Structure 1
């Protein structure tokens, strides 16, 4: 998958952002926030790992244009 391509408009993040939060209780909202924070941490960790791999490849093969 090409990192430079835009994200599809119907991906999980877009669907999640469009969900109606009205029916959720405060406890459910708090649980959802905790789950989202954990997912953000996971994505950031993956991003950092990918950036490290990219830097290593750039150092070895030269920066792609």
Structure 2
């Protein structure tokens, strides 16, 4: 979520599938792939997780 929030704050939109976000601690996160995985497993996400994704502009959440 941190990588997604960082990207959306900077770019103003959700990332595409190939986006790799570098976090402040220097680690890389495949944010675009992560969103795809969340979408595929969205039936296992709870309401709080879906609300957090919706707040960051993920329209299917």
TM-score by length of structure 1 reads: 0.29
Higher relative contact order (CA 8 A, sep 6+): 2
- When you count helix as a share of all residues, which structure comes out higher? 1
TM-score by length of structure 2 reads: 0.31
